[in-house]
Amino acid sequence: MRRIWTEAAAALLAVVVLGGCATSKDEVLPHGENTMLDVWNQETGGGAGIGSGQAARQLLDARQGLRRPLTEGDVHAAPAVNAAYTRNAANEIYRQFHRLPNPDLVMYVFPHLAGTDPVPVPGYTTVFPLYQRVRYAMPGERLEDY
């Protein structure tokens, strides 16, 4: 019974795949008489199509919104905004990317024998970081040192 379902599914899949090859490009994407320039003019209001006045008005309003003049506040604030991202001799010594905490782990190794000839090794303490890599914060994300 399971084999019949598998064969039926395979046959259905083959029919669907071969059916996709039976169509032509012109049937799926028919060519019209309009060129790309005609479509552009129609959608942006450059042509004489229906509703071209409203489309042209919307496009002009959007462009005017992008071409607004700078206000006095924008002109006076620009140097301060740009200075925050600019490195110079005065702020070169300050770190922009602070290190994130990476706690040290202390491990005690008990006295043991090591090597092919058992050599006694005295107990000792070692320190290693918790994380393998040093991670850095984005500017302004972490201001305090650890």
Contact of 44 with 61, CB cutoff 8 Å: no
Per residue, the 3-state secondary structure of 63-111, as one string, reads HHHHCCCCCHHHHHHHHHHHHHHCCCCCCCCCCCCCECCCCEEEEEECC
Residue 58: per-residue pLDDT: 79
pLDDT of residue 113: 95
What does the pLDDT profile of the chain (146 residues) look like in tens digits? 677 888 888 888 888 777 777 777 777 777 788 888 888 877 776 655 555 567 777 778 888 878 878 888 888 888 888 777 777 776 666 677 778 888 889 999 999 999 999 999 999 999 988 988 888 888 777 666 55
Q: Find residue 141's DSSP bridge partners.
A: none
In this prediction the pTM is: 0.29
Hey, what are 69's tokens? Answer: 């003049």
